[in-house]
A = this chain, B = another copy of it.
Amino acid sequence: MSAALADPPPALLPVAEHSIPARRVIFRQRDMHDVVPFICHGWAAAAVTLSDGSRQILSFLIPGDIVSSSLLFGPAAHCMVEAITEVHYRCFRREDLKSMLLTDPDLFDKISRLWIDGKLRAYDLAVDLGRRTADERIARLILGLKERLTSRGLAQGETMDFPLRQHHVADATGLTAVHVSKVLSEFRRRGLIEINDRCLTILKPVEFQRIATMR
């Protein structure tokens, strides 16, 4: 189960709410903020862009996620965030959160959990990118998303929303969109998964899981 601040502390009032259309950048790598934004609706991606234009997506953000958890501690976001679908998010003042943090040990634990989870996911990503094949990476991405969605009550059994384009999958797995297309086609051909209408269903959970955990 992944930690999330699905219910922000009731004493805390958002200072702003925003709505952003799909494919729009929410904020850039060098931006500074004194607010901490939480996603309440839609999907986004946190990414880094290299000077040759290639991108690495570090994490997909779904409802309940902090947009950039380093904003909890300082004004630097450190990565670019882009809306995938239409996104609604709410901002809280960092100063408010910080002072609550020091007085409310419960909130402190919640935030620590959030941080540790984020770091573990960053490490998992590194392991995937460093040591796994294209098939494994893609299967693991899908299963990881499904697990996170499930833990927030946002999945329906083996079916889940899947608004990602193949280039998102490519940018997240360190592959090219062309290769992602080939791997997904092969998954479909083998009857492992099905993608219709921006929804993904895992048809053979056991076999699919095996691909993700080959090593």
Q: Tell me if A116 counts as interface (CB < 8 A to partner B).
A: yes
Verify A50–B131 contact, CB threshold 8 A.
yes
Interface size class on chain A is 35 or more
Could you tell me the distance between the alpha carbons of A78 and B125 in the complex, rounded to whole angstroms?
14
Verify B116–A118 contact, CB threshold 8 A.
no
**Neighbour of A123 across the interface among B48, B55, B173, CB < 8 A:** B48
Q: Tell me if A156 counts as interface (CB < 8 A to partner B).
A: no
Q: Tell me if A153 counts as interface (CB < 8 A to partner B).
A: no
Q: Tell me if A150 counts as interface (CB < 8 A to partner B).
A: no
Q: Mark A residues whose CB is within 8 Å of B.
A: 48, 50-52, 54-56, 58, 69-70, 73-74, 78-79, 102, 105, 108, 112-113, 115-116, 118-120, 122-123, 125-127, 129-131, 173-174, 213-215
